[in-house]
Amino acid sequence: MPTRNPENILIIRLSAIGDVINVLPALRLLRSHFPNARITWLVEDRASEILRDHPDVDEVIIYPRKKWQSGILKVNKSLNTISESLSFYKRLRKNHYDLVIDFQGNLKSAVMNLITGSEDRLGFGKGHCKEFNYLSTKHHAYPAGKKIHRIEKNLSLLKELDIETRFLRPELPVSNEDEEYISEFITGKANSSLPIIIIHAGTSKFGSFKQWSPPNYTLLADMILEKYEANIIFTWGPDDFDTVEEIIKNMKHKALPACETTSIKQLIALIKRATIFIGGDTGPLHIAAIMDIPVVGIYGPKDPAIYGPYNGKAIVIKKDVPCSPCKKRTCGDPICMTSILPEDVFRGVEKLLPIHHQEKNLNT
């Protein structure tokens, strides 16, 4: 059994954005149970922004994986990369964590577990982690089955600390400057008297196999605006703007591209304004869901029972096809996504969007 009253805790969840979001309820519960403990989170740089200035985290340690991977291959940077990595590992060792909790459960996090040298390393048991990760941890949790939501799986780790696990909605703090930036955009571009429907049509390059087609988003947005008075705002990342432009250009009705969000915090500030959120299995969808915003999730290869929006107000649109769910990274015929029609998603929107004051007067 791990120490019952840890004073110096390290959380390991390196990536990705959605996965970090899914650990936040466990963080909230951990902080409420150990209010005086020092809690540090080890995370990769691309997901670290979520944790910046988080009230439940005392320190964020960034693991710069991409930087080191590129640097080690360049002659003029390889020595510096080796020096930085050695300093990083020494820092983990010197911090003397009396409890390490590994929410990642793979080879990368196993290495980090061992480097810390902590006597109390808590992780998932055999059959619930990958790449022999359980060999790097001393205490093991065995979730109730493999087909449980990732948030519930993460919470199950805390049972080993004699914590009564329950869902506590986490905080996603945003600065006043970011709030003001989004407010200026909404005031200048949208009709603040109408509901805001946020659609996120993009995915990461790694998750492109989960993307619904731009023509489908065009048809869906027009269907919504045919029936409802609303603002439709398409959010976008660095690689998505051309897709959003294409969608809006082909629409019959007017929709807006979101303002540029240069950080996850700004994106959170924008998503907070949504009446409903529509999108695929991406980080922004999980951000909306964890903030209790009604969500319409478009799911294909992933199992929503495990990876879906953790939100009682969410509706998941998924087709029953023989090959889904699956664990493929690419697919030549993603029928699980192409079989989902705009009409299917629109029916989900109709169930969530409040009718009063928003439905168009068909008699005018």
- 211 shares its domain with 265: yes
- 63 shares its domain with 151: yes
Domain boundary among 96, 128, 161: 161
What confidence score (pLDDT) does residue 355 get?
53
- 294 shares its domain with 155: no
CA quadruple 296, 234, 291, 357: dihedral positive or negative? negative
Identify the CATH number of the domain in which residue 233 sits: 3.40.50.2000
- 214 shares its domain with 95: no
- 82 shares its domain with 54: yes
- 277 shares its domain with 207: yes
- Using an 8 Å Cβ cutoff, are 198 and 277 in contact? yes
212-227 pLDDT tens trace: 999 999 999 999 999 9
- Kindly state the percentage of the chain with pLDDT values over 70: 96
- 196 shares its domain with 344: yes
170 located within any domain: no
Domain boundary among 126, 161, 196: 161
51 located within any domain: yes
129 located within any domain: yes
* Structural domain count, the chain: 2
- 312 shares its domain with 182: yes
248 located within any domain: yes
State the residue range of the domain holding 336: 176-352
2 located within any domain: no
- 322 shares its domain with 284: yes
347 located within any domain: yes
| Among the listed residues 14, 15, 21, the one whose alpha carbon sits nearest the alpha carbon of residue 285 | 21
Going by C-beta distance under 8 Å and a sequence separation of 6 or more, which residues neighbour residue 161?
2, 4, 33, 122
33-72 pLDDT tens trace: 999 999 999 999 989 999 999 999 999 999 998 888 777 7
Domain boundary among 108, 137, 161: 161
Residue 296 to residue 283: CA distance in whole angstroms? 14
277 located within any domain: yes
Residue 34 to residue 5: CA distance in whole angstroms? 7
Alpha helices, DSSP H, located in the chain: 17-21, 24-33, 65-71, 75-94, 107-116, 150-158, 176-189, 214-227, 241-249, 264-271, 283-290, 304-307, 335-338, 342-352
- 184 shares its domain with 328: yes
244-274 pLDDT tens trace: 999 999 999 999 999 999 999 999 999 999 9
- 217 shares its domain with 321: yes
- 141 shares its domain with 24: yes
What confidence score (pLDDT) does residue 358 get?
55
Has residue 357 got a pLDDT over 50?
A: no
